Structure 1
Amino acid sequence: MPHSTERRLQWLKYITLAGTALTALVILVGAWTRLVDAGLGCPDWPGCYGRLLVPDNEHAALRHPDVPLEPFKAWVEMAHRYVASFLGLIVLSVVAIGWSLRKSSGYPWKVSLALLVVILLQGAFGAFTVTLKLWPQVVTLHLLGGLSVLTLFFWVHMRIRLSLTRHLTTPSNAISSPKSYVSPTSSMNLLWVIGVSALILQLALGGWVTSNYSGIACQGFPTCNTQWWPEMDISEGFHLTQTVGPNYLHGQLHADARTAIHMMHRLGALLLGIALLVLWWRYRTTVSVGRALTLVVMAYVIQVILGVANVLLWLPLWLALLHTAGAVALTISMGWAVWCWRYQDNTD
Structure 2
Amino acid sequence: MQGASMPNSPAQAHTSRLRLLLILSLLGVVLTAVVILIGVWTRLVDAGLGCPDWPGCYGRLVVPDAERAMAHSPHAPLESFKAWVEMIHRYVASALGLLVISLLALGAGLRRRPGYPWRANVALLAVILLQGAFGAFTVTLKLWPQVVTLHLLGGLTVLVLFLWLHLSLRRFAKGDGPGVPRRRLTPLWGLAMTLLVLQLALGGWVSSNYAGIACQGFPTCNGQWWPEMDWSEGFHLTQTVGPNYLHGQLHADARTAIHQGHRIGALLLGLALVMLAARYWGEARMRPWLGGLVVAYGIQLGLGIANVLMWLPLWLALLHTAGAVSLVLLLALATWHWRETAVEAVSSKRRDKEWVHV
TM-score by length of 2: 0.91
The Cα offsets for residues 237-259 of structure 1, whole Å up to 9 and x where unpaired, read as 00001211320000000000000
**For the residues of structure 2 that align with 1:184 and 1:59, how far apart are their CA atoms?**
62
Q: Which amino acid aligns with 1:328?
A: V
Other-structure match for 2:270: 273
Other-structure match for 2:327: 330
Other-structure match for 1:176: none
Other-structure match for 1:4: 13
2:247 aligned residue (229, 247, 250): 250
1:80 aligned residue (78, 81, 89): 89
Other-structure match for 1:36: 45
Q: Superposition pairs for residues 80-229 of structure 1, below 5 Å?
A: 80-166=89-175, 183-229=180-226
SS at match of 2:175: helix
SS at match of 1:2: helix
| Deviation at residue 188 of structure 1 after TM alignment | 3.6
| Deviation at residue 186 of structure 1 after TM alignment | 4.9
**More moved, 290-299 vs 262-271:** 290-299
| Deviation at residue 93 of structure 1 after TM alignment | 0.4
Q: Which amino acid aligns with 1:70?
A: E
**Matched residue count:** 336
Question: Conserved in 2, the CA contact under 8 Å of 1:184 and 1:342?
Answer: no
**For the residues of structure 2 that align with 1:105 and 1:20, how far apart are their CA atoms?**
24
Other-structure match for 1:50: 59
**For the residues of structure 2 that align with 1:183 and 1:226, how far apart are their CA atoms?**
56
**For the residues of structure 1 that align with 2:330 and 2:184, how far apart are their CA atoms?**
21
| Deviation at residue 184 of structure 1 after TM alignment | 5.0
SS at match of 2:304: helix
| Deviation at residue 288 of structure 1 after TM alignment | 2.2
**For the residues of structure 1 that align with 2:246 and 2:42, how far apart are their CA atoms?**
12
Other-structure match for 2:350: none
Distance 1:252 1:284, change over 3 A: same
Q: Which amino acid aligns with 1:115?
A: L
Other-structure match for 2:295: 298
TM-score by length of 1: 0.94
Q: Percent identity?
A: 64
Question: Conserved in 2, the CA contact under 8 Å of 1:26 and 1:80?
Answer: yes
| Deviation at residue 90 of structure 1 after TM alignment | 0.2
**More moved, 158-167 vs 141-150:** 158-167
**For the residues of structure 2 that align with 1:213 and 1:221, how far apart are their CA atoms?**
18
**For the residues of structure 2 that align with 1:288 and 1:207, how far apart are their CA atoms?**
33
| Deviation at residue 182 of structure 1 after TM alignment | 8.7
Other-structure match for 1:27: 36
Q: Which amino acid aligns with 1:82?
A: Y
**For the residues of structure 2 that align with 1:243 and 1:133, how far apart are their CA atoms?**
11
Q: Which amino acid aligns with 2:50?
A: G
**For the residues of structure 1 that align with 2:299 and 2:332, how far apart are their CA atoms?**
17
1:62 aligned residue (65, 68, 71): 71
Other-structure match for 2:309: 312
**For the residues of structure 2 that align with 1:345 and 1:268, how far apart are their CA atoms?**
32
Q: CA RMSD in A?
A: 1.5
1:71 aligned residue (56, 65, 80): 80
Other-structure match for 2:3: none
**For the residues of structure 1 that align with 2:336 and 2:179, how far apart are their CA atoms?**
12
**For the residues of structure 2 that align with 1:182 and 1:216, how far apart are their CA atoms?**
51
**More moved, 100-109 vs 218-227:** 100-109
Question: Conserved in 1, the CA contact under 8 Å of 2:181 and 2:342?
Answer: no
| Deviation at residue 8 of structure 1 after TM alignment | 1.2
Q: Which amino acid aligns with 1:232?
A: M
**For the residues of structure 2 that align with 1:97 and 1:263, how far apart are their CA atoms?**
47
SS at match of 1:344: helix
SS at match of 1:194: helix
Structure 2 unaligned regions, length at least 5: 1-9, 347-358
